[in-house]
A = this chain, B = another copy of it.
Amino acid sequence: MNKWICDNNILIVGLGLMGGSYAKALKRLGYSVCAIDKNEESIKYAEENSIIDKGYSYVDTQAVQNADVLIFALYPNDFLSWIKQYSHLFKKGAIITDVTGVKECIVYDIQRELKNNEFIAAHPMAGREVYGVQNADDKIFIGANFIVTPTESNSQEAIEWCKGLGKILGFSRISVLSPKEHDEMIGFLSQLTHCIAVALMTCSDNEHLVDYTGDSFRDLTRIARINDKMWGELFLLNKEVLIKEMDIFISEFESLRDMLYKNNIEGLREKMRLSTKRRAYFDK
């Protein structure tokens, strides 16, 4: 770590599951961690459980001005509004990072807004199907991937700092992608998979099937428990990529269907062998 994480005050804006998990990890490491969240209950819970040192359910000018590092864990549109409204309060040289799940539509806009501060974007690929600081858990970072998504206007120093942040939080693999590469990757790996899980859960009235199910259905639908406000926003902000990925998937799925329809079992088995081979790469 370097100048930004040594003598610093960390401010987390948005104290939900992810903001809370960052707070837990950073407090454990000995940093001074403050937080802003409009939900008074969340702030109270986090203070009482020593997840943060001090919290505010309003934008406390002093807290913002004191921060050396600001970590944003808001929904994408709220993040941009917040920056527009309050970034003039930032201490000169304070560094900004985030946890936002889409990048291209937001990173450049935010960098344009900031005059005296550098914003280095990141996406921690970790989560849970439950929400709120009450479920915050810094163990979700262990074994997970952390992606830094710099633009041309980021300094090498900020990129290294952000990679270091991922490391001290406990992530196992730290990567660097451009915002565009990130969004393409996330459209396939995360957004498409969530669409599939939702469709599988909503395509028929299947509640009575719980008595018979094996683990395959459970695994495929774990992420069908979904925060509709957040994911609705993420899908729309990455719409072009996601539509493309959905179309590719539909076309592949239909070709399997047609093979079965035409009794082309050798074709189907060939697909299964390919999927088996490819899946081996993803074994932990």
Chain A residues engaging chain B, CB cutoff 8 angstroms: 125-127, 144-145, 147, 173, 175, 177, 185, 188-190, 192-204, 206-207, 209-229, 231-233, 235-236, 239, 242-243, 246-254, 256-257, 260-261, 263, 265, 268-276, 278-282, 284
Contacts and interface: CB of A to CB of B under 8 A. Distances in A.
A220 to B, nearest CB: 5
Given A175-B211, A284-B218, A243 B257 contact: yes
Contacts of A215: 144
**Per DSSP, are chain A's interface residues mostly helix, strand or loop, or mixed?**
helix
Contacts of A254: 250
A231 B272 contact: yes
Contacts of A233: 265
Contacts of A196: 196, 200, 220, 253
B218 A282 contact: yes
A193 B199 CA distance: 11
A249 B193 contact: no
A199 B199 CA distance: 15
Nearest to A124: B214
A13 B226 CA distance: 45
B228 A276 contact: yes
Contacts of A282: 210, 213, 217-218, 221
A217 B225 CA distance: 15
Given A216-B190, A218-B284, A276 B223 contact: no
A272 B214 contact: no
Contact of A193 (B144, B193, B200, B222): B200
7 contacts: A145-B213, A201-B275, A202-B252, A203-B248, A207-B278, A219-B223, A226-B276
A220 B193 contact: yes
